[in-house]
Amino acid sequence: MKIKTSKIVIGIQKGRDNPRQVMNLEIKTERKQSKPQGYFLIQSITLARIPLSILFLILMTVSRDGSYSLIISLALLLLIEATDAFDGKIARRFNLVSEYGATLDPYADSISRLIVYVSLVSQNLVILLVPLSMAVRDITVAYSRILLAQKNLSVSARISGKIKATVQATGSILALLGPCYWSYVGHWVFYALSWLIITVTLLSSIEYIKDALHAIRQE
């Protein structure tokens, strides 16, 4: 909601010996500013990743039909990553970018990917340290974002965060398909992929921590 203020200055002169009296009258009119068309659609696309990841979890833990379960699980993963790839592009294309959207996007990413990787751990497709490192990283970055927001600094995604997202997205697909190719390349890929995701995930927090510390030093 925007406040439009107009000032009317009235000068009153009362004789030679009296001081000039100035009265400022502020007339405030409130005008509701509606959200741009398509704004809520973009937020819905972003938040859709969370229920989709819950469906992925249910399918991974309940289904016993290997081939069909794999196909549907892969389709859900691709759909989750598609919403992540296109919500920002659509927002920029139609001028729907906002700080709220910039905050909501990493929130949806964190929740959905954590659920996805917990699902993968339940099927022994990645090691337990993967979702644990993701949780530690996301909590650390969340506190860093709070500090940046208090200083009126941007909380939008950094380049390291985008690299992390790409590695986690690709890693989840490779992990899901692991049983299809491990017998050909060796089970070592299971550990190599897990540790690659852990390393990139933790390193991606450094940029946010540095920005937050820099904001604190400016006090």
pLDDT in tens, 162-188: 899 999 999 999 999 999 999 999 989
Predicted local distance difference test score (pLDDT) of residue 112: 96
Predicted local distance difference test score (pLDDT) of residue 97: 75
Query: Is the per-residue pLDDT at 29 higher than 60?
Result: no
Digit-coded pLDDT (tens) for 45-101: 889 999 999 999 999 988 776 788 899 999 999 999 999 888 877 877 777 777 677
Percent of the chain, pLDDT > 70? 78
Predicted local distance difference test score (pLDDT) of residue 114: 96
Predicted local distance difference test score (pLDDT) of residue 178: 95
Written as one letter, the residue type at 190 is F
Predicted local distance difference test score (pLDDT) of residue 161: 85
- Please indicate whether residue 21 or residue 158 has the higher confidence score (pLDDT): 158
Q: Tokens representing 56?
A: 């992925």
Terminal-residue alpha carbon distance, the chain? 30
Q: Indicate the average pLDDT of the chain.
A: 81
pTM of the model: 0.78
How many other CB atoms are found less than 10 A from the CB of residue 40?
A: 11
Residue 144 Cα distances to 31, 132, 137, 138, 200, angstroms:
34, 19, 11, 10, 18
Percent of the chain, pLDDT > 90? 47
Digit-coded pLDDT (tens) for 136-152: 999 998 888 888 878 77
Backbone angles phi, psi at 7, to 5 degrees: -110, 130
Predicted local distance difference test score (pLDDT) of residue 196: 98
pLDDT bracket for residue 192 (50, 70, 90): very high
- Name all domains of the chain by residue range, CATH numbers in brackets: 2-31 (no CATH), 39-217 (1.20.120)
Contact 134/202 with Cβ under 8 angstroms?
A: no
Buried b (16+ CB within 10 A) or exposed e, 163-178: ebbebbbebbebbbeb
